[in-house]
Amino acid sequence: MTYKEEFIEFLVECDALRFGEFKLKSGRIAPYFINTGMFDTGMKIKRLGSYYAKAVKEHFDSDFDGIYGPAYKGIPLCISTSEALFEMGMDKGYVFNRKEAKTYGDKSLVVGMPLTSQSTLILVDDVITSGKAIRESLDILKACDNPKVKGIVISVNRQEKGKTNKNALKEVEEILEIPIFSIVTITEIKEYLHNKEINGKVFLDDYMISKIDAYLKEYGSSQTE
């Protein structure tokens, strides 16, 4: 089993990937929903970090200094990813931003590894829609000696259109001029889970596949990344 397949099973086992009917922030009614806030125990966040670390290694090898996570969900992600990288033989730093700057003591906008203009970072987050949170993070980093963000890794690429017919991630990628990678795509999830029994349950039957296909026909992008 590949780490991508393990991750898909992990998502459904933790109830972080659900199928049904969900209203998104965009107003769309989606047949699936991803909530990485469900990784709420030591075991779960440790395993989650290992999948991010494998994706980081796959796309960037070891050519970076640290992992950055935007507050709040990105905080446990950057820490667990850096821990997993250490177990893989790479001792990298981690850093995350404060939601509000302190007015006393250490007034830095970020917590973690020291940053310079020569620092190179990989940004980790759960999912990306408009890219607003990512742009806010980049603005914060610019104020912290402007380290270089070499790339972004998220959990799932929903493969949906953004404001144009392009994949929403591609739109953000082009605006930011930073490559974005996902651990898995919704297509990979569909292909792996279709009529597959996990722990005695089928999460994605023919009916739900048809709902997802209809949703992607309306809102999906043909681009896989």
Name the amino acid, one letter, at 161: K
Give the domain ranges of the chain: 3-219
CATH code of the domain occupying 3-219: 3.40.50.2020
- Quote the CA–CA distance of 51 and 41 in Å, as a whole number: 16
Indicate the pTM of the whole model: 0.92
- Quote the CA–CA distance of 141 and 74 in Å, as a whole number: 14
pLDDT in tens, 139-183: 999 999 999 999 999 999 999 887 777 788 888 898 889 999 999
* DSSP one-letter code for 72: T
Element (H, E) at 94: strand 93-97
- Quote the CA–CA distance of 157 and 190 in Å, as a whole number: 12
Helix pair angle (74-87, 42-60), 10° resolution:
70
pLDDT in tens, 61-102: 999 999 999 988 899 999 999 999 999 999 999 999 987 765
- Quote the CA–CA distance of 10 and 196 in Å, as a whole number: 14
- Quote the CA–CA distance of 43 and 80 in Å, as a whole number: 11
